[in-house]
Chain A
Amino acid sequence: MAKGQGQKRTAAFLELPYEVVCGLPRVTLIGMEQMLIENHRGIIEHTGYRVRVNTSIGVIRVEGASLNVERIGGDDIRITGAVHELYMPGQQEGAGG
């Protein structure tokens, strides 16, 4: 049994938050202006129109305009600006948005 499957079963059995047990990123989008990414592993790229954030499942890419990292801590990043597109790891270029 894979390690991830065991963690999932444990979380389900103990009714614990899935992302906490598995260390998965949690992405919260507030409207089109704010985004909160929890359980990140650092910034890979940050420009005014694109922010790439490393996570345990891969790189999350956010594209938009006037993007700023308003707050960054050990666990979470708050990105502000006009969010136009969000690409999750493994997602194809044309399938986002």
Chain B
Amino acid sequence: MIQRLMRYLLGYCVIEIRGLMPEKCVNIMLSRGVPIWNIRRVGACVMRACVAFGSIHRARDAGAASGCEIVEKRKRGLPYIGMRMWRRKALILGCLVIIAGCVLTTQIVWTVEIEGADRVEEADILRVLAENGLTQGAWIPDIDRNRIEDKLLLAMPDIAWAGLQIDGVNVTMKVVEAVPVPPVKDLSVPRDIIASRSGLIERMIVLDGMPQVQEGDYVAKGQVLVSGTIVHENGVTRRVHAMAEVWIRTYYTDECLIPPQKSGLIPTGESVKVFFLINKEKEKEKRITGRVPVYALSSIEEETIGPELFGWRLCMRHYLEMEREKTDPAEWEKTLRTAERETYRRVIAAIPPGVKIIDKMTRYDMISDGGVRLSVWVQVMENIALPVDIGG
């Protein structure tokens, strides 16, 4: 295998030795150092063999010396392919250009992306990177990761860590933003903690101050939960900066009315015509023919027949039995789900940040006109501790 591969790489020529004594030709080739192999008889006066690339002229000389004719049958191997390709210079040039293009285009930055920037503007990071040579079209081997990361950290104090990742032609700058330093609390100002909302206390953590309520108590909005005024047994009063977390279990709710999908009435086909004599001045009416039907839902059409005589006129009343138009259950279900989603979204939007959502409940109530009242309750755990400075 390796020998065949080497022969292919070095190149060889398949020749035919034609003559009365091809063996003699082979012996002369051997004596002249012509590499020859795979000798086989293919005819009475013809032998076929392989000679190495570059030995064909010596093989011809050997053939001439032995009175044989050397005929080249096939040329194989890389040198011959190279010689064939060398004649097609435009093709070689095109291949070289394509290879060079591929190499060059994989050595420049195509995209620069930023990951992890929420508070910091990506445009600012890109500007700093561009100032340090990292932008679209930058030469990748020239990118100094450590230097760019250091420069970015120095230029933008809001970034705590930066890591440059190069994936092929895409460059990603991963950043971790610095946690903002919380403002320093002035603990010298005495204050109370009051309830910002009514509810049942579920959990209470008092860090400083005198608790006025305990877990399980129901508190109203504005009620003092933790007092910043501490009265000692010896009568000394001390005012502190009360700090506490008071969590209550409460609900946020909202509702919406869903009108009936189709409130129209349609006739069932049942109808009765009844004739009346009506006197509008005396507010009297007298049924002449027919019986007034009893329909759950009906429509009445009244029509006056003939002229009015002595205040009386003849009327025909057409009683039509009606029924509610049927609704499409799938469409109705879709309407309900959409309304529920929208109501839930409104409730969530009304919940202040920092509140933990525990549960959700939805209730549908049918109302008289065929519509539905949709109510959504969202059960939450909310910290209702509201600090209020104590005056004086």
Residues in chain A within 8 A of chain B (CB atoms): 42-48, 68-74
Contacts and interface: CB of A to CB of B under 8 A. Distances in A.
B324 interface: no
A38 to B, nearest CB: 14
B40 interface: yes
Contact of B23 (A44, A48, A71): A44
B30 A70 contact: no
A68 B50 CA distance: 12
A47 B26 contact: no
Contacts of B27: 42-43
Interface string B332-354: 00000000000000000000000
A10 B23 CA distance: 36
Contacts of A45: 23
Contacts of A46: 22-23, 26, 39, 41, 47
A82 B30 CA distance: 25
Interface in B17-72: 22-23, 26-27, 30-31, 33, 36-41, 47, 49
Nearest to A68: B40
A69 B30 contact: no
Give the secondary structure class of A's interface: strand
A42 B37 contact: no
A71 B23 CA distance: 14
Contacts of B39: 43, 46, 68-70, 72
A56 B39 CA distance: 22
Given A46-B23, A46-B47, A74 B30 contact: yes
Interface string B221-251: 0000000000000000000000000000000
B41 A70 contact: no
Nearest to A49: B41
Contacts of A70: 37-39
Contacts of A72: 26, 30, 36-37, 39
Contacts of B23: 42-46
A92 B20 CA distance: 28
Given A42-B27, A42-B30, A47 B41 contact: yes
A68 B30 contact: no
A31 to B, nearest CB: 20
A73 B36 CA distance: 8
Interface in B194-224: none
B23 to A, nearest CB: 4
Interface in B251-298: none
Contacts of B49: 69
Contacts of A42: 23, 26-27, 30-31
Contacts of B26: 42-43, 46, 69, 72
A60 B234 CA distance: 133
